Chain A
């Protein structure tokens, strides 16, 4: 592959507030997305610390049950919609034009809109958390992020704010996704066929397509909820001819693909990181693309495995069980590709690679507990216990957040022009991973022993494991302060990074981002490079 990229700055970045408020530049918007995600991650993380502090010992220590329930609801909503999804869009914004040889995203003004919807949504969501403390604010949202009626009909005004926040977040992600799809389909450099794209682009393409399909369904579902609450409809009220389970179907038709929306960007990052630090191209590119198509299709038709206990017909339940177990095939293929990329490679262990290796292991673990959960009779015991909590945190921290961390470490030198502090990076990795496993590994067992999720107080028989888990959580939570420090330190200065800071990137990846200088010019490729 060769390129004739000439990076010229026709004009520099505008200055002042306008640069950010009216920005149509993919790098600036990407930066804003990432900063927003970081702020939300610390907000959601603080809520998680409160949850674990409350659960440190049996008894009610620091909060009332309904406030506890509200905090766990908003922890999930903030982490999913505020931290993971915007961070993935931020990475896509930064990297896609550079990888594909484009000057910018295809729809720059849409890009601006889709970002600026987020702070508004966050404001609504945070308001919903403050309302219960104000006179006349009504009962807090106590449902968990699933917002199941009839409980969600009982909540006060905070639920309406949450619903509108979800509307805005949904609109933002649909617009962002449209932009990603259009960019990938239309903005590739001459000669870069679909099958030559970096795997990260494929993963973002499927992420975006999934969101475009499922986000409107969630918006519809919560709108019906809003109508049930205020306008006398009974979509979800059996007394009025409705069906509470209908909401669960609408929610999980969105909710299950959402898991893959969070997972695939991390898989994309791993498909860049592992080949780079194994100094060998990604193993089985075509098979992985096929696997992604398979995974994409399956993810849309397995939603009701979250509802095995609602009393569906045995036939339907059986169908959802088999389809869910079959997900292990494309996921297994992914793991195979990563393992075989490392096999007979020449590995080095910089921070992104350490994350990648640990993700392969820990995400596989989430995968095997996922198969256990897919088994209907067994799920009739696991359902709504801490086993589930442990499972999905293994899926969504390694499978989403840690993948994003790997991506940030991998591309920070490209973005800033400085190498991050490798020694601190490694300390952060170990601190982070040990804290994480200490928090969530024991939760599998407390779940098997019979502790349900979403309870503010528990029987003393679960005390030891919960205390261990809380200690792990404090270790895990504080580690992120080091992450913040490393990122700020890297932005402010450090060892100069070359255009291709990673030795293995040439052998390992096909992305055009390494052809640009570090840091790259304000407009990425003003003339398209030619890919052969």
Chain B
């Protein structure tokens, strides 16, 4: 059936557009997981049905135009509605349509039941969408009770070009998942709706602030799979890509161990007292990754949309107030500053606040240490 569909679609397309389009992608990217494979089959089945329904309709219209036109002298058959077809087609056609409907619905329900059936997960990945980045949490892999967790953002254009990665479909840190494992993916969001969508890996579910949605994947092939946010989340909606790196179990275990070590090292670093240079250097990194999208590289924000930090009351006023805003967020006339307490650790917040208070002519000279942030949590 799929073959016929491909042949049919291919024929139609070559008629429309010629061979130049042959290299273009016209279908789902090759699925990499069990559910996406089934969905692709379902998609091919319904496309095939759609194709043949269109063939029938076009044939009837085409024949009518060709045959029943006044210019060839055809007289309208005013008795047509008294024929058998005229009297019964209104029953026959809906029954045929119902038959097609039920066979589609039957297939769809089977796949849907599999999508919704509970699994014993080998791995649970929590995905948190925020404007405009993804935070990943490997809830089964913890250090001192804290899960392995990191944030993944858009790879800047120059960087992407340097690395030969596709712009807008590459990130600074891909999420790594093992193949041939039952993976449960939990979706949520911190601010507005998002949708973690990697077409080859898993059927999408909305990420809704305050709610947790579940989807799952059993990835069959190693590889790099790309996607992006699929629910309008405002200004940066086009700029929050997703990269999934599917690797073997061994490679995954090795990777997760590295992450755990980094996490332990970061916890240690957060406990010590940092020098000004360390704070400023780290702060600039954190700022570029998390704050720059709104407040801009020069700290000027965007008039009427995002407030400036240069010379702002918060960034030049009392340190406690600054820490409070970064930790808890705030809502103002311009919209909303998100809370960062769950996304950044004490060290990162201390560094970025120090940076903001000393950059762009905000020469307050203040140094904020991780312990100061911890005290206000």
Contact = CB atoms under 8 A, between A and B. Distances in A.
Tell me if chain B binds chain A.
yes
A527 B92 CA distance: 44
A329 B50 contact: no
Nearest to A134: B304
Contacts of A345: 64, 68, 76-77
Interface in B291-310: 303-305
B150 interface: no
A472 B94 CA distance: 36
B256 interface: no
A365 interface: yes
Contacts of B104: 325, 371, 375
B101 A325 contact: yes
A92 interface: no
B29 A450 contact: yes
A449 B185 CA distance: 23
B203 interface: yes
A378 interface: yes
A138 B333 contact: yes
A343 B78 CA distance: 11
Contacts of A297: none
A364 B227 CA distance: 31
Contact of B234 (A151, A332, A335, A378): A151
Interface in A307-334: 309-311, 314, 317-318, 321-322, 325-326, 328-329, 332-333
Contacts of B81: 281, 283-284
Nearest to B239: A457
A279 B61 CA distance: 16
A427 B24 CA distance: 32
A278 B76 contact: yes
A187 B344 CA distance: 69
Interface stretch (B204-212, B261-269, B271-279): B204-212
A142 B232 contact: yes
A311 B234 contact: no
Nearest to B100: A328
A329 B46 contact: no
Interface stretch (A36-44, A75-83, A381-389): A381-389
A346 B74 contact: yes
A340 B89 CA distance: 9
A486 interface: no
Nearest to A367: B53
A456 interface: yes
A64 B58 CA distance: 43
B70 A347 contact: yes
A332 B214 CA distance: 36
How many of chain B's residues touch chain A, expressed as a range?
A: 35 or more
B93 interface: yes
A452 B93 contact: no
A315 to B, nearest CB: 10
A454 B76 CA distance: 49
Contacts of A452: 197, 228-230, 237
Contacts of B213: 310-311
Contacts of B197: 384, 452
A238 B209 contact: yes
B336 A154 contact: yes
Contacts of A342: 61, 64-65, 68
A458 B226 CA distance: 13
A346 B68 contact: yes
A372 B46 contact: yes
A271 to B, nearest CB: 15
Given A244-B209, A309-B205, A456-B238, A344 B76 contact: yes
B90 A311 contact: no
Given A371-B50, A376-B112, A458-B238, A357 B65 contact: yes
Contacts of B65: 342, 347, 349, 357
Interface in A152-201: 153-156
B301 to A, nearest CB: 12
Interface in A347-389: 347-349, 357, 360-361, 364-365, 368-369, 371-372, 375-378, 380-381, 383-385
A216 to B, nearest CB: 25
A449 B192 contact: no
24 contacts: A69-B237, A153-B336, A310-B213, A311-B205, A311-B208, A311-B211, A311-B214, A317-B112, A325-B105, A333-B93, A333-B94, A340-B85, A342-B64, A343-B60, A344-B68, A345-B77, A361-B57, A368-B54, A372-B43, A376-B115, A377-B38, A448-B25, A452-B228, A456-B237
